[in-house]
Chain A
Amino acid sequence: KNEVEQSPQNLTAQEGEFITINCSYSVGISALHWLQQHPGGGIVSLFMLSSGKKKHGRLIATINIQEKHSSLHITASHPRDSAVYICAVDRGGSNYKLTFGKGTLLTVNP
């Protein structure tokens, strides 16, 4: 079993819908990252969080450390949100190696 599992693997939505992408992990962590990768493009960091909730524009990330679970929400989705969303965990301490999920491919249709 992978240490970081994302669901769903693929998600198709209509423009305007509320989107939720989930990330579950099986190890203790000090922080969790959400990244965005557009098709054929580079990777952009969206959030780094260790507790609670963060919001940036239409994007909201939450984390529940006790349940080992994080969610990325997109409100009022738009076709430009179509991308792969990647979750990565930092196990903390002197471990400098992030562990990545396989990503969730989101397609938002107009």
Chain B
Amino acid sequence: NAGVTQTPKFQVLKTGQSMTLQCAQDMNHEYMSWYRQDPGMGLRLIHYSVGAGITDQGEVPNGYNVSRSTTEDFPLRLLSAAPSQTSVYFCASSYRVKGELFFGEGSRLTVL
């Protein structure tokens, strides 16, 4: 099993550009989520999904979209990047909604 795979690991964008961070897991996990991690702050939930076709907002959803068309994939879309979205992004999954979390390696995004 590859676990949770995030791509790309690094990305530089200009303000206003759009992009998609990919997240895939091969563990048949029900729950998937996206977090951002900023200096001096704890991890903050952006969006989450409790199964294919079901998504919901977390603490900081503005400027991000998600979809969950399959159990395996949970992409995070930045519609129009802003410097405030410069951060490290982590995708995580768990077998059941309230289970142990498995994290991807993170994606460092810089918006100029």
Chain A residues within CB distance 8 Å of chain B: 2, 4, 30-31, 33, 35, 41-45, 48, 86, 88, 90, 92, 96-103
Chain A interface main SS type: strand
Q: How far, in Å, is A64 (CB) from chain B's closest CB?
A: 20
Q: Tell me if A45 and B31 are in contact (CB < 8 A).
A: no
**Which of the 9-residue segments B11-19, B35-43, B75-83 touches chain A?**
B35-43
Name the A residues within 8 Å of B104 (CB-CB): 42
Name the B residues within 8 Å of A43 (CB-CB): 43, 90, 92, 103, 106
> Is residue B101 contacting chain A, with contact meaning CB distance below 8 A?
yes
Q: How far, in Å, is A32 (CB) from chain B's closest CB?
A: 12
> Within B74-104, which residues are at the interface with A (CB < 8 Å)?
90, 92, 97-104
Q: Tell me if B102 and A45 are in contact (CB < 8 A).
A: yes
